[in-house]
Amino acid sequence: MGIISKCALNEDTDDPSDWEGTDDDVWYLRWRIKVKHWFAFANRCPKGLDLTIVFFPLLYVFPFTVWFTGLTWWYLFPLIILPVARKWRKYPKTVFAIRGKGHWRWEDKDGTQDTVLTGQPTIFMQSWDNRHLSRIQYYARWHIQIQWPFLIGFHWYWKAADVPPQVNRGDTDGKLVFVYRGWHRDGDEIFWGDGGFLGTGWK
């Protein structure tokens, strides 16, 4: 993973041609296709250190730097290269999660199956061996979650009647707001550190 190593990528993601027709295959993001390993982290890597690029490192503390120091010029340097662990955990740990009426959605193993968990509306500091809490929570009216490696996610259905039953999701585009930021885990068993998402559909 990271700038130096491509070990996080698998045979389906390690060649630029694998990304043709994806969200990155547009004129303003196409440069990322050749450097996907910069944003990829995985358990399959050996232990050690690599380097990664962090965008807008002061984004979350910017108001505090202004208030306490007045050093607003720090914000003129939006990129920083940091050392990071090469080998990441296989499944994320749920630091905190809470939901409204409905059910939690889990992704099992490689992410190709999803199951639901009834009850337990609040989850705190839990991890599992072969599943993880999905960032996409179809079956609850709303949810907030924080995972480690660091991910913040939130969604809200505008109308309670639009929350789908767990057996038939249907089309929910335009019926909710969904946002996440951080390193999200996909079915390819890679944590992707992209720019996040804000929209009225799932991603």
- 16 cis-preceded (ω within 30 degrees of 0): no
> How does pLDDT run across 40-83, given as a tens digit for each residue?
899 999 999 988 877 655 555 555 555 555 555 555 556 677 78
Q: What percentage of the chain exceeds 70 in pLDDT? A: 82
Statement to judge: residues 25 and 117 lie in one domain: no
**11 with 42: CB under 8 angstroms?**
no
Statement to judge: residues 78 and 146 lie in one domain: no
Strand ranges of the sheet holding 104-108, from the earlier edge strand across to the other edge: 113-117, 104-108, 131-133
pLDDT at 138: 93
**107 with 131: CB under 8 angstroms?**
yes
Statement to judge: residues 74 and 125 lie in one domain: no
pLDDT at 60: 52
Contacts of 70 (CB under 8 A, 6+ apart): none
Statement to judge: residues 69 and 136 lie in one domain: no
E strands of 56-136, at which residues? 79-85, 93-99, 104-108, 113-117, 122-126, 131-133
- Exposed, middle or buried by CB within 10 Å (0-12, 13-18, 19+), for 151? buried
pLDDT at 167: 72
Instruction: Specify the number of domains making up the chain.
Output: 2
Any domain includes 64? yes
Statement to judge: residues 152 and 63 lie in one domain: no
Residue numbers in the chain where pLDDT is lower than 50: none
